[in-house]
Amino acid sequence: MPPVQLRGSILFLNLYDVCEEIRMEELRHLLGLAPAGGKTSFRHPAPQYLGFERPPIVERLEETKLKTGTALAGRLKYYDYGVLSVQFELPFEGGWETLVELSSRLVAGLEIEDQAFALVKEKSRRAAAALIKPYEHWLSEDYYIIHVREVEGAPRAADLLERYGEPIAQIVRGENTALSDAERREILQSSMSYYPNDLAVVGWNAALIYDTDAGAEATIQLLEYANSQLLEFRHYDEILTRQLNSAYQSLEKGTGWLGRWRLARVSARLYTLLLELTELAERTDNSIKFLSDMYSARFYKLAATKVGVQDYKELVHRKLGTAEGLYKFMVEQFHQGRGFVLELVVVIILIIELVFLFRGKP
């Protein structure tokens, strides 16, 4: 029997944005769970860590079986800003070719996503009393993390990239066929290491981590957190798109001097939304802090860029700027309409006074 070349796990992350906010203390009471630790130990020997303002709550799940009979261990994580994240874990061992085939097959499958969605539906009903403003339509994200704990010969990260760069690129892309040299180089450029014998290669829908369980823990959490942030900013983008379209339609209907009076209500709603989304976006940005750990901050920046957080964040901030400009324009239009009406009223009063004045003369 040939020696086992690789040993590790494939982690399936399925995240859902289910509500505006979760009352964490009430949820903890409903589920009878202890809060997740607010501190996540990083690589350094000094006590340096990242911290959540309100740590997510973790619920361990019963083993889930797929139709093929494959058993998956799992857990559910509740974030205070309304995101629920399901993680399933599938152990593997074998060669690089086996891992390439396994990852491409599982990444393309829908059965795990269906299991995760059904589970979140069930859990959200049980936690309904702790959910603030539940959404009818859930946005979702899925992400795959291939955690390689052992590689035959225990190579250094640089040697791993040099010798196995091609299968690593295929695994991160979820492809079963060889990629072009340019595509492989582009994928492998998104890699980071802290020690010589650890490696993380990050893609837009999957990542490969070569590390011990303890070393990979924080990296996995940062990848999950980046995807939860992506969900939040996608949600804000959808809200802003709908509200801006509604405001533009109101402007088209309010071109007349009477229609401008209706703009007062529309601008008030837009300004309220502007304040709420600005506050929510700031809360989302500040929900996690990096304390004295520049490597983790750089890794999160890489992960956020690759999964699309930065793109959506910039889009949301641009639309917030557009909404603010539109609000000012609508208020100006309303004031112009009100000024016209007041001037018209003054003219009518003067005409009435003149009429009575001349009628009163002999």
Euclidean distance between CA atoms 79 and 57, whole angstroms:
7
- Give the pLDDT score at 347: 77
Judge whether 72 and 9 are in contact, CB under 8 Å: no
- Per-residue confidence at 269, pLDDT binned at 50, 70, 90? low
Cα–Cα–Cα angle for 206, 87, 71, rounded to 5 degrees? 105
The packing angle between helices 259-285 and 309-359, to 10°, is 150
The 3-class secondary structure across 250-315, one letter per residue, is HHHHCCCCCHHHHHHHHHHHHHHHHHHHHHHHHHHHCCEEEECCHHHHHHHHHHHHHHCHHHHHHH
pLDDT per residue as tens digits for the range 187-208: 999 999 999 999 999 999 999 9
pLDDT at 361 over 70: no
pTM attached to this predicted model: 0.81
* Secondary structure class of 49 (helix, strand, coil): strand
355 CB-near residues (< 8 Å, 6+ apart): none
- DSSP letter string over 338-351? HHHHHHHHHHHHHH
- Higher pLDDT: 189 or 347? It is 189
Domain ranges of the chain: 6-213, 227-357
pLDDT per residue as tens digits for the range 27-52: 999 988 655 554 554 454 433 445 67
- The tokens for 95 are 């060669």
138 CB-near residues (< 8 Å, 6+ apart): 16, 17, 18
208 CB-near residues (< 8 Å, 6+ apart): 145, 146, 148, 168, 171, 172, 199, 200, 201
pLDDT per residue as tens digits for the range 311-328: 888 888 788 777 777 666
pLDDT at 309 over 70: yes
Mean pLDDT, rounded, of the chain: 82
Euclidean distance between CA atoms 73 and 312, whole angstroms:
32
Around Cβ 258, how many Cβ atoms within 10 Å?
10
pLDDT at 2 over 60: no
Euclidean distance between CA atoms 284 and 306, whole angstroms:
18
63 CB-near residues (< 8 Å, 6+ apart): 71, 72, 73, 74
* Secondary structure class of 135 (helix, strand, coil): strand
pLDDT at 308 over 80: yes
Residue positions counted in the chain? 362
Judge whether 199 and 210 are in contact, CB under 8 Å: yes
